[in-house]
Amino acid sequence: MSAAALLSPSAPLPYSGAITDVAGIEVGHHTDPRRPTGSTVVIARDGAVAGVDVRGAAPGTRETDLLAPGNFVQQVHAILLAGGSAWGLAAADGVVRWLEERGVGLDVRFGRLPIVPGAVLFDLPMGDARIRPDAASGYAACDAASTAAPAEGNVGAGAGALVGKLFGVPHAMKGGIGTASVKVGGVTVGALIACNPLGDVVHPDTGELLAGARTDDGTALRDTRRSLLRGDVPRPLLAGTNTTIGVIATDAVLTKVQAQRLATVAHDGLARAINPVHTMSDGDTLFTLATGRVPLGEEAPGMTVLSVMAAEVAAQAVVRAVLAARAVTTAELAIPAARDWPGRRAAA
């Protein structure tokens, strides 16, 4: 089915799997009712081997150094994704408190210390920028966490996300958060992606433009890649005012080296679905969680197949993030979404 066929304003997206299909993973969102922003938490209560790869040049992250294969910590207990730019990293404090209250964390003799890496995206143009995710937001996201398929679109870390900002925020479209999963040989790989890129979102199989920068009159997609190649001049940009962040999870048994490699190759999925990607104004960051519920036996897929699976679900989750998104209007902006906007066909 083509992407256009899925863009009915009222119809739900067909189920495409979810990161919570991975055994040992829970997801919760908190969406701030005062403006489009929020927090999303991916919890692994029993701990998970983790990796990370930061490809964007302007990241906002927490606790990423400890995920390096040569460093001491072997497992993490949750990953935070949030809006609010660097201010939003405060939401991780609430995640840590929630987990500690439930006895989840690394035993450091004086208590159990939850290990919670995180990453944030820039959603400050959407409403009052003084309202950002904080510790209470992170705590509320944990309270909402479950093994059910998480909501997609304008929720949690995707609430204020936009796509296609290279020619100005007023010409952007609504981003969001999406999830997908695939299963091969008894092993599941899932993704949860908060999509807020500088570039456009394209269908990874067909190249169809789904959402992104609109023309000056707002009636069609301008196609950022082709616009730049023909010499159109982009608007001046602040570093870090974009960013796609997410989590790749699997129930396979992985080492820290393998987990880091899976995070690296998952960025291939972003590159298939976002153009341009990994720019100087994006802080693109992907984490990997391996819960180890399914040993990699003779019949289970090896790292090559797992890598293909990770890139696939990352690309699918990006597409679902924009197809699930809804239009948003603030005092300053009216931002359309792909599913309820008639000008989806790119300008000639």
> Is the pLDDT reported for residue 29 higher than 80?
yes
Structural domain contains residue 6: no
pLDDT-derived band of residue 240, with 50, 70 and 90 as boundaries? low
Amino acid 15: pLDDT = 81
Gap between the Cα atoms of 265 and 245, Å rounded: 14
Structural domain contains residue 345: no
pLDDT-derived band of residue 5, with 50, 70 and 90 as boundaries? low
Per residue in 192-212, pLDDT (tens digit) is 999 999 999 999 999 999 999
Say which CATH number the domain at 132 has: 3.60.70.12
Higher pLDDT, 13 or 84: 84
* H helix runs in the chain, sequence order: 91-101, 135-143, 224-229, 256-273, 303-324
pLDDT-derived band of residue 7, with 50, 70 and 90 as boundaries? low
Q: Which of 169-173, 214-218, 230-234 reaches the highest mean pLDDT?
A: 169-173
Query: What b-and-e string marks burial along 234-261, b requiring 16 or more CB atoms within 10 Å of the CB?
Result: eeebeebbbbbbbbbbbbbbbebebbbb
Amino acid 348: pLDDT = 35
Rg (the chain; Cα; Å): 19
Amino acid 191: pLDDT = 98
Report the mean per-residue pLDDT for the chain: 92
Gap between the Cα atoms of 200 and 276, Å rounded: 7
> Is the pLDDT reported for residue 63 higher than 70?
yes
Structural domain contains residue 348: no
> Is the pLDDT reported for residue 320 higher than 90?
yes
Its pTM stands at: 0.94
Structural domain contains residue 347: no
pLDDT-derived band of residue 308, with 50, 70 and 90 as boundaries? very high
pLDDT-derived band of residue 3, with 50, 70 and 90 as boundaries? low
- Is the link from the previous residue into 14 a cis peptide, with omega within 30 of 0? no
Q: Are the CB atoms for 3 and 323 separated by under 8 Å?
A: yes
Structural domain contains residue 4: no
Q: Are the CB atoms for 55 and 284 separated by under 8 Å?
A: yes
Task: List CB contacts of 10: < 8 A, sequence separation 6 or more.
Answer: none
> Is the pLDDT reported for residue 157 higher than 50?
yes
> Is the pLDDT reported for residue 35 higher than 90?
yes
Structural domain contains residue 346: no
Task: List CB contacts of 187: < 8 A, sequence separation 6 or more.
Answer: 250, 251, 252, 294, 296, 300, 301, 306, 309
The rounded Cα 189 to chain-centroid distance in angstroms is: 15
Percent of the chain past pLDDT 70, that is, above it, reads 93
Per residue in 161-187, pLDDT (tens digit) is 999 999 999 999 999 999 999 999 899
Amino acid 298: pLDDT = 63
Structural domain contains residue 2: no
Per residue in 242-253, pLDDT (tens digit) is 899 999 999 999
Amino acid 10: pLDDT = 57
Amino acid 297: pLDDT = 66
> Is the pLDDT reported for residue 37 higher than 60?
yes
Look up the domain containing 186 and give its range.
12-340
The total of other beta-carbon atoms located within 10 Å of residue 5's CB is: 8
Per residue in 255-287, pLDDT (tens digit) is 999 999 999 999 999 999 999 999 988 999 999
Percent of the chain past pLDDT 90, that is, above it, reads 80
Domains identified in the chain, total number: 1
Structural domain contains residue 247: yes
Amino acid 54: pLDDT = 96
Amino acid 346: pLDDT = 45
Instruction: Fill in the amino acid letter for 111.
Output: G
